[in-house]
Structure 1
Amino acid sequence: MVEGTVRVGRLGHTVPVPSIVIPAHNEERTLGRLLDALLEGSRDEEFDIVVVCNGCTDDTARVAGERGPRVRVVETPVPSKHEALRLGDTHARGFPRIYVDADVVLGAGDVRALTAALDAPGEVLAAAPERELPMTGCSWRVRAYYRVWQRLPAVREGLFGRGVIAMSGEGHARIAALPPLMADDLAASLAFGPAERSVVRTARVVVRPPRTWRDLIRRRVRAATSTAQLEAHQAGHREAGPDASAPAAPPSARTGVSDLKALVRAEPALLPAVVVFLSAALAARRGARKAIKARDFDTWLRDESSRQD
């Protein structure tokens, strides 16, 4: 398969419909449930769905192709999410543009709610759905961690950590110049001011959390590493020259001690869970040191437990 070649699909080039871009790397176990949710209840050619199989060594492309001509499959040998998103953009045909991770579940009605939020009058340029985190099968420490994480202001209000970001044409132009970053969803979220982004309460995405403590720490090490890369990029951008339109301090989604204290004051019963949360944060910080020092922002520590059936 030549890179960028569309394997299946029939949507006409002039149909003004939302485009859904799904980067997928070895996601044969998860991709089918996402595609089935998108296709069920949607009309023919209501959505332009593009799956970009990047560096796959499994049957991801076959799983996508089995869904028929409503899904276009693009293959590339390069195992890179950033390159997959770029390639997906070259094949996508419409706006709003919705980027969806292959391991989440989003339905057709949720896509409609996201596009409606972007089409409505106002300043909103980017939107994301509410999260649903099914905790069945997760260890008690994982459940405790997410009891805290889900209550953090930055997590509630930001577009990151949802596996889905939808953008208008103007919003897409805003992020087009972003460099390759591990924290692509965090960088995209921070590219928009509070009035320009929206968490759409009528849309919902199912994001499966890691089931084990070990897999949670792997995921948090990746988050700590990617956040360090983003902050280094922000610092370099500031050093390159002053920008009168930029804020004095770059936007951040870091959790502070004050955030955790506020949670405990509001809900004292959360204190044991906050201790677990801090333990995870410290373990992630230690685990990320080597990668940050070596500037290794390419190694993707993947959580496999959340991909189990």
Structure 2
Amino acid sequence: MTSIVIAAHNEAAVIGRCLDALLAGAAPGEFDVTVVANGCTDDTVAAATRPGVRVLDLATPGKAHALNAGDEVAVGFPRIYLDADIVLSTAAVRALGEALDRGALAATVGRQLVLDGRPVAVRAYFAVHGRLPVFRDGLFGRGVLAVSAAGRARFGTFPELVADDLFLDSQFSQAEKAHVTAYTAKVETPRRTDDLVKRLVRVRGGNAAMRAAAERGEITVPVRPAARLSWLRDVVLPKPWLAPAAVVYVAITMKAARAAQQAGDGGAAWGRDESSRQDSAADPAPRR
């Protein structure tokens, strides 16, 4: 039986859509679904309550805490960790399970960036960011990650850090990962440029906290290093027509870097686990 764990913090507006898609074509008893509402002040619990869905209501917010609580009650494998705002079909869940059955220890789906109605600066940023090769071989940036029983045995509990998908990505070699590109997760991009900068500060903080924990020996697997010049080497040089977008990309990234430095410790103060939705873990900041 496939178990699906969904951490949800104030997700009443989107959790119903997520669950409807998951269960639309599922046979009775095919999926074991757990929604872990954590620190919610809205109607997430009521919106998630339905036949075939286990709902946990935790008083304290925090994604790692929610994922660990969901793991404690989940009964099967494959195990899928899903963000509450991601719409994943029954067929996509089955395809992830099939990828794991073929020998992969971890798997995810493709990524579709939602850019409709976004300002020019946000669209320009993602014209570069969306083409970074790190998103072709990494497990992050989709809000969907599946592991087999052997893959889940690679680690104990989720650490109290924001970058949970970077933590999971670090557990597996490239040969142990699979990408089911026949299905995609629609990833909402920020609707304002200021919101994009704030998201990048959180990402930098989460990744910095993750790498600092690794340096202290609290995390014992190698953490993917920041791909500092990938935006230039792998995206802009092969596609020079993206140069104008790259100017915007660098400006926004550097603005976020300055904000992260002002936050202290490269933004690591933002790296605490206070949210149940995960931003992209890629950290392709250009060097100054």
TM-score (norm 2): 0.89
> Which residue number corresponds to residue 283 of structure 2?
none
Give the Cα separation in 2 of the matches to 1:171 and 1:236: 24
> Which residue number corresponds to residue 286 of structure 1?
258
> Which residue number corresponds to residue 29 of structure 1?
13
> Which residue number corresponds to residue 127 of structure 2?
147
Q: Is the 8 A contact 1:154 1:253 kept in 2?
A: no
What is the CA-CA distance between 1:230 and the residue it aligns to?
1.1
Q: Is the 8 A contact 2:8 2:37 kept in 1?
A: yes
Give the Cα separation in 1 of the matches to 2:225 and 2:183: 22
Counterpart amino acid of residue 89 in structure 1: D
Give the Cα separation in 2 of the matches to 1:285 and 1:144: 18
Task: Write the mapping of 1:98-113 to structure 2, written as runs, cut at 5 A.
Answer: 98-113=80-95
> Which residue number corresponds to residue 68 of structure 2?
86
> What's the secondary structure of 1:106's corresponding residue?
coil
Task: Write the mapping of 1:114-193 to structure 2, written as runs, cut at 5 A.
Answer: 114-120=96-102, 122=103, 124-193=104-173
Give the Cα separation in 2 of the matches to 1:265 and 1:127: 30
Give the Cα separation in 1 of the matches to 2:229 and 2:268: 27
Relative CO higher for 1 or 2, CA cutoff 8 Å, sep ≥ 6?
2
Provide Cα deviations, 1:88-117, integer angstroms capped at 9, x if missing partner.
Answer: 001111000000011111111110110100
> What's the secondary structure of 1:174's corresponding residue?
coil
Structure with bigger gyration radius: 1
Q: Given the superposition, is the C-alpha separation of residues 37 and 177 from structure 1 closer, same or farther in structure 2, using an over 3 Å criterion?
A: closer
> Which residue number corresponds to residue 73 of structure 1?
55
Give the Cα separation in 2 of the matches to 1:258 and 1:118: 29
Provide Cα deviations, 1:117-159, integer angstroms capped at 9, x if missing partner.
Answer: 0011x3x100001011121121111111111112111122100
Give the Cα separation in 2 of the matches to 1:34 and 1:217: 27
Give the Cα separation in 1 of the matches to 2:22 and 2:77: 17
Please state if 1:217 is matched with 2:197. yes
Q: Given the superposition, is the C-alpha separation of residues 156 and 183 from structure 1 closer, same or farther in structure 2, using an over 3 Å criterion?
A: same
Please state if 1:59 is matched with 2:34. no
Uncovered stretches (5+) of structure 2, i.e. residues with no partner = 278-288
> What's the secondary structure of 2:94's corresponding residue?
helix
Give the Cα separation in 2 of the matches to 1:18 and 1:220: 33
**CA RMSD of superposed structures (Å):** 2.1
Q: Is the 8 A contact 2:61 2:274 kept in 1?
A: no
Kindly, what percent of the aligned residue pairs are identical? 44
Give the Cα separation in 2 of the matches to 1:233 and 1:18: 31
| Counterpart selection for 1:48 from 32, 37, 46 | 32
Counterpart amino acid of residue 272 in structure 2: D
Give the Cα separation in 2 of the matches to 1:251 and 1:300: 21
> Which residue number corresponds to residue 269 of structure 1?
241
Q: Is the 8 A contact 2:15 2:44 kept in 1?
A: yes
Q: Given the superposition, is the C-alpha separation of residues 259 and 163 from structure 1 closer, same or farther in structure 2, using an over 3 Å criterion?
A: same
| Counterpart selection for 1:201 from 181, 192, 211 | 181
What is the CA-CA distance between 1:178 and the residue it aligns to?
4.9
Please state if 1:19 is matched with 2:3. yes
Q: Is the 8 A contact 2:83 2:143 kept in 1?
A: yes
Deviates more, 1:143-152 or 1:284-293: 284-293
Give the Cα separation in 2 of the matches to 1:262 and 1:118: 29
Q: Is the 8 A contact 1:133 1:209 kept in 2?
A: yes
Counterpart amino acid of residue 252 in structure 1: R
Q: Is the 8 A contact 1:228 1:292 kept in 2?
A: no
TM-score (norm 1): 0.83
What is the CA-CA distance between 1:292 and the residue it aligns to?
4.0
Q: Is the 8 A contact 1:117 1:200 kept in 2?
A: yes
Give the Cα separation in 2 of the matches to 1:273 and 1:255: 18
> Which residue number corresponds to residue 10 of structure 1?
none
> What's the secondary structure of 2:146's corresponding residue?
strand
Q: Is the 8 A contact 2:211 2:223 kept in 1?
A: no
Q: Given the superposition, is the C-alpha separation of residues 177 and 32 from structure 1 closer, same or farther in structure 2, using an over 3 Å criterion?
A: closer
Q: Given the superposition, is the C-alpha separation of residues 302 and 288 from structure 1 closer, same or farther in structure 2, using an over 3 Å criterion?
A: farther
